[in-house]
Amino acid sequence: MPLDELLRRNEARPRADHVSEEYIRSSWKRFHHVMFRPLNPEDPNGNLLKRMIADPYVRVTSVRGESDVFACNFTREAFLEGRWNTRTINARGL
């Protein structure tokens, strides 16, 4: 996703939900090649969002005010029971 689109979406959010522009710019600079990449349903490894949703040790919630942004966090059970796999390891607000 282009940086200007992220900044535009941030400006459209209610003031209480704004993210620091400096944070957006620095995150985009470091991670735009993987973090803001659209999901590809044709991916031979399957759709990442669908894999996260299917994992019982990952909680997926939509981000308020966004139609296509989701937060993925490992569950308390994953933490307490040591249920670590590639999805739970990466589900830290992804």
Q: Average model confidence (pLDDT) for the chain?
A: 83
Whether the model pTM is above 0.75 = no
Report phi then psi at 43, rounded to 5.
-55, 125
Residue 52 and residue 33 share a domain: no
- pLDDT given for residue 51 in this prediction: 84
* Residues 49, 30 within the same domain: no
How long is the chain? 94
Based on the domain organization, do 32 and 20 belong to the same domain? yes
Structure-token match 């620091």, residue found: 20
pLDDT at residue 7 is higher than 70: yes
Position 57 confidence tier, pLDDT thresholds 50, 70, 90: very high
Identify whether residues 52 and 7 lie together within a single domain: no
Q: Answer yes or no: do 23 and 58 share one domain.
A: no
Look at residue 78 in the predicted model and tell me its pLDDT. 93
Same domain, 52 and 27: no
Q: What's the number of domains the chain is made of?
A: 2
Q: Answer yes or no: do 23 and 46 share one domain.
A: no
State which residues form the domain around 87: 40-94
20: pLDDT strictly greater than 60: yes
For residues 31 and 60, membership in a common domain is answered with no
Is 80 exceeded by the pLDDT of residue 30?
no
